[in-house]
Structure 1
């Protein structure tokens, strides 16, 4: 009986420590894989780190100064990537990664610049929420901001 108690404690501590093994580098790796797929037009690669029903949102201000939120889905994003004309080059340059992790939940904030066919288009920040699934860590929510003012252009 004591053996079973010790065994269950040992296994419990293993599973608890396994949750703590997800690092900032791992979180960055999930985001990097997502963007590799984004830049390559590889929706299979992107989907590998996206939850099935991923909600997406974009916040922006209209030319008239009205604040807007546009809702979408991961499927919408994948469709945009898969139907992107070959003569269009979308280059989203991540400027930084700020990562927070708590157990099986993580948040990654990535300020960015977006370049369209080699020309600066806009800037903003992505906020990714990641969660641990049985098959690994996946993006469960993505919201980004988009603006043209107050951007540091290269």
Structure 2
């Protein structure tokens, strides 16, 4: 009987560790994405994404109107690489909410965006990932951008 409990415990412990490790891997990918983003490293940013990645931004203007914009990932990479070196920008993440189900994951990260140390806007990033050939890749990124309610 004790052997059964020991084997069950070890099996369940391994499941818990496996899920934790996957969450760690996913969070590390998102953190590395933002390191590359801040370094304007379009080559690294391309590596984090699946070739068929989709991007959207939901903008909420000062009057509370909502607009949806679609951006090609290559255009995003070009825009990041073309930011002048004299412009300081930083996206500060305020936590991670990670859900994994097999080979797909969802990551939500509230953020504040600063340009030259001044708050520009805030919002939430939502990443959809797929485990493709043993590696997590971003397949979809949607973010909200608002000047309302930022702290």
For this structure pair, what is the TM-score category when the shorter chain's length is used for normalisation?
0.7 to 0.9
2:124 match: 125
Contact preservation (8 Å) 1:53, 1:73: no
In structure 2, runs of 5+ residues without a counterpart are 1-14
Contact preservation (8 Å) 2:60, 2:147: no
Rounded Cα–Cα distance in structure 1 between residues aligned with 2:62 and 2:147: 10
Contact preservation (8 Å) 2:62, 2:147: no
CA RMSD of aligned residues (A): 1.5
1:136 match: 135
The higher-RCO structure (CA 8 Å, 6+ apart) is 2
User: For residues 64-105 of structure 1, what are the alpha-carbon distances to aligned partners after superposition, in whole Å with 9 as ceiling and x for unaligned?
Assistant: 443110011211110111111111111000001000000000
TM-score computed with the length of structure 2 as normaliser: 0.83
TM-score computed with the length of structure 1 as normaliser: 0.82
Q: Match of 2:95, SS? A: coil
In structure 1, runs of 5+ residues without a counterpart are 1-16
Q: Match of 1:51, SS? A: strand
1:116 match: 115
